[in-house]
A and B are shown apart, each in its own frame.
Chain A
Amino acid sequence: MLQIMEGSHAVAEAVKLSRPQVVSAYPITPQTHIVERLAEIVADGELDADYICVESEFSALSSCLGASAAGSRVYSATTSQGLAFMAEVVFNVAGMRLPIVMTIANRSLGAPLSIWNDQQDSLFLRDSGWMQLYAEDAQEAMDLHFIAYKAAENHEVLLPAFVCFDGFILTHTFEPVDIPKQEEIDAYLPAFNPYQRLDAKDPISFGMYATPDYYQEFRYEINAAMTRAKKVLREAGAEFGEMFGRDYSGLVEEYRLDDADTAIVAMGSVCGTIKDAVDEMRDDGKKVGLLKLRSFRPFPYEDVRTALAGVSNVAVLEKNINIGSRMLGAVGLEVKDAVYKNGTPVYSYVGGLGGRDIRRKDVKMITEWAETGRNDCFFGLREEVL
């Protein structure tokens, strides 16, 4: 049923419908409304879960790790500095192959202190072994939680997942969302069936130490599981589409890309603004389209290569900065690799950092930059730094 609500509350509803048995999180702006609402949901008896209050993000994910190893479906949420504080546990969760789902309310990293949106926080954990899915709007943010649990818990995958949605821009925005019914989600997402679990009667240890003779093999396995996750995510997205009418079978989404000369590549909420800008540029006769990345990890390079096969220029709108690299953005680097054999020029245009607003005119500007071959650069930068 279509209802209007805040993005954070929509995500809390999605979590409730996913029936986690353990929730542990530490409040941090702009994630706070999600976990506050979940605390109410648990306290009101709407969700039969243990809500573990902790003193830090490190403890939050640590308790989630233990609960997941014990065989529970587990949920957490964080952002920015909180995610940075968790980082050690983030790698451990993936290494122990525990299918935890965690919402990232994307926010910039300090210093300088900023509570506002960009995507540097989730991207800095690119190599942690967690899947990373990015939502364009509140509806997609909701739906990706169900898909994330389904793919993460698949025994072919057994990897945790971030569901990333832009802080404030989506967390604090009221908009209509279609909330599935509990019985529909129960049919889509059955109870967690752990591959192995902690049991006092039949003891087991997770994440034992591995000598140089073995460590490499475990990293190989994580990478292999992440590669298998592409197919599993596509199937989980397709099945969701069949049941709920919203198709997520693609790890990428093409928008007016068929005959496009220039493609814009982006992730998250800015894709909505880009779609409006693409429509306006199309009205002006410009052949431009959008390639939205729904999954950054696993990176769907085959899909990106196919989608961009016919274009002459690629402008990657980056809400992150890949400091010290020749390529300015982390997303552009991957896109460039995907289309390398085609020889298509790919440019990283960095902007929207720390909550700087991105407008349709910015999208039009970077489209022109790509058309004229302007090299990687920031957009919307204050002139006094130049």
Chain B
Amino acid sequence: MGIFLRELRIHGRGGQGSVTAAELIATAAFKSKIYSQAFPAFGVERRGAPVQAFVRFDDKKVRLRSQIYEPDYIIVQDSTLIGDVNVFGGMKKGGIAIINTEKEIEGVPDGVKLVKIDATSIALEILGLPIENTTLMGAFAAATGEIEIHALEESLRERFPGSLGDKNVAAAKKAYEIVKGGL
């Protein structure tokens, strides 16, 4: 038990779509034939306040209901959170930290792989808005292999119909290609 369980913790700010990111990653994982579970750190978050959302992946039904304290993966949507929030807290050795930044990142624990991506610039370029959660999903797919890119594309199109879906898919794919190329 537990060997196959993988856990993702998403750090963002209220309004950045952390919960949506968790739901869409879980949906994409489900479409990739993996059992998944997504849930927010329940609360009454206001816009801009630090928030968390969680995703679990397993080869069987996920029963565990507690929050995630020792993640295999983290996504940090806003690098200004680092310092305010212990985003690396409890990370497992061999874990992967995906951070939206172009700056140098300090404090990455030993044994944790850092994947930096300037998702905000990609989102601005493709979506015209600094909403980078879907871009980071592409980076997550490439960095971890937990979700297949076509499953992510399908999930994005279900959530965002029409041209909005096209743009979000394009942003996710661009990040996917950048991270794949860098690996």
Contacts and interface: CB of A to CB of B under 8 A. Distances in A.
A172 B39 contact: yes
B151 to A, nearest CB: 11
A272 B26 CA distance: 19
B44 interface: yes
Contact of B26 (A30, A168, A174, A276): A174
Contact of A360 (B39, B62, B66): B66
Interface stretch (B29-37, B134-142, B173-181): B29-37
B147 to A, nearest CB: 12
Interface string B127-170: 00000000000000000000000000000000000000000000
Interface stretch (A121-129, A144-152, A351-359): A351-359
Contact of A272 (B23, B44, B64): B64
Given A4-B26, A4-B30, A280-B2, A273 B65 contact: yes
A266 to B, nearest CB: 11
A279 B1 contact: yes
B8 interface: no
Interface in B4-42: 22-23, 26-27, 30, 35-40, 42
A283 interface: yes
A172 B41 CA distance: 10
A337 B74 CA distance: 47
Interface in A263-300: 269-270, 272-273, 275-276, 279-280, 283
Contacts of B42: 30, 115-117, 168-169, 172, 355
Interface in B56-103: 61-67, 69
Contacts of A174: 22-23, 26-27, 36-39
B64 A276 contact: yes
Contact of B67 (A4, A276, A283, A357): A357
B39 A169 contact: yes
Given A137-B63, A172-B39, A280-B2, 13 more contacts: A4-B27, A172-B40, A174-B23, A174-B26, A174-B27, A175-B37, A176-B36, A269-B65, A276-B63, A279-B1, A279-B2, A283-B1, A357-B67
Nearest to A136: B63
27 contacts: A4-B26, A4-B30, A115-B44, A117-B42, A137-B63, A168-B40, A169-B42, A169-B65, A172-B42, A173-B38, A173-B65, A174-B23, A174-B26, A174-B36, A174-B38, A174-B39, A175-B37, A272-B62, A272-B65, A273-B65, A276-B1, A276-B63, A276-B64, A280-B1, A280-B2, A283-B1, A360-B64
Interface of B: 1-2, 22-23, 26-27, 30, 35-40, 42, 44, 61-67, 69
A136 to B, nearest CB: 8
Contacts of A168: 39-40, 42
B112 to A, nearest CB: 22
Nearest to B155: A4
A113 to B, nearest CB: 10
Contacts of A172: 39-40, 42
A360 B1 CA distance: 13
A168 B1 CA distance: 25
A120 to B, nearest CB: 17
Contacts of A117: 42
Interface in A98-118: 115-117
Interface string A22-60: 000000001000000000000000000000000000000
Given A175-B62, A280-B1, A4 B36 contact: yes
Nearest to A139: B61
Contacts of A359: 66, 69
Nearest to B25: A174
Interface in A310-360: 355, 357-360
Contacts of B67: 357
A279 B38 CA distance: 23
B35 A273 contact: no
Contacts of B26: 4, 174-175
Given A168-B42, A169-B39, A275 B63 contact: yes
A125 B66 CA distance: 27
Nearest to B69: A359
Nearest to B35: A176
B135 to A, nearest CB: 21
A276 B2 contact: yes
A234 B79 CA distance: 54
